[in-house]
Amino acid sequence: MSRPWNFAAGPSTLPLEVLQQAAAEMCDWNGSGTSVMEMSHRGKHYSRIRDEAEADLRTLLAVPDDFEVLFMQGGASAQNAIVPMNLIGRAGLGRADYVLSGHWAGKSFKEAARYGDIAVAATAESETVIGGHRFGPWCWLPDPAEWRVRRDAAYLHLCANETIGGVEQAVMPDMAALGAPDVPLVADMSSNILTRPIDFSGLGMVYAGAQKNAGPAGVTLTFVRKDLMGHALPHCPSVFDYANVAGAQSMFNTPPTYAIYVAGLVFKWLLRQGGVAAMD
């Protein structure tokens, strides 16, 4: 079977094995007599699917115990609002800093500005010359040594992979070296999640729409350090409060059950290939 390479915007190619398994189980999952689409998200069959998906994802990325793994809805675009609504009120700080590296970081910045004092820590909006080579706007990354991070910011946000400009923040900055050791780093990894190991020791939160590397559109992988939860703004919808979602094991409301199921199949496929080290 000949399948095309997909470099288009939005959902990407899934492993053929995963699609074939999903097709085989479409009408009857594991002898249950029902499709995953029809299962109660409170039932024992779906609970097993969700629990295995989280366990496999934790294994793939070596997620520390002090991080919650949440399966949320709305994609990374929703997280642009959900992140500040949950984190900007931490300790009454009310401010956050953003690195503007391209289209996606700019979109995050614009949305966050609705919820508090949002400042630009660094920007690649102008052309520059690096090593004798000229780079146009949004086609390079500001040197972390030049970032201006406020010590009292509730968090610093960056986009780890700008697909339009073609730049990747492959190595996360050292917040202590930036003069802000107590500022949590929040990274949008929507297009490079599961392509390489992640060092969570330098991160406060990671989020990623699943549709590039982890499954179909509809589920957002969200990793939140536990001490950062419980500070949602009063007007944050209950369904988007990280503490509520974590307390209900990502079932505060009906989750995107089928998308989580397919993502779980992708996680198992990745483990069979050797995990993220092999992908890297």
pLDDT at 1 over 70: no
Q: Quote the pLDDT of residue 148.
A: 96
pTM exceeds 0.85, yes or no: yes
d(CA 117, CA 79): 18
Annotated active-site residue in 56, 97, 188, 241: 188
Please write the tens of the pLDDT for every residue from 89-128. Answer: 987 879 999 999 999 999 999 999 999 999 999 999 999 9
pLDDT at 87 over 90: yes
Read off the DSSP letter of residue 34.
Answer: S
Q: Compute the average pLDDT of residues 259-279.
A: 97
The rounded mean pLDDT for the chain is: 95
Q: Compute the average pLDDT of residues 131-144.
A: 93
User: How far separated are the first and last CA of the chain, in Å rounded?
Assistant: 26
Whether 147 is a known active-site residue: answer no
All structural domains of the chain, each given as residue ranges with its CATH number in brackets, are: 54-279 (3.40.640.10)
Burial of residue 268 (CB within 10 Å: 0-12, 13-18, 19+) is middle
Annotated active-site residue in 29, 104, 138, 140: 104
pLDDT at 32 over 90: yes
Whether 212 is a known active-site residue: answer yes
pLDDT at 212 over 80: yes
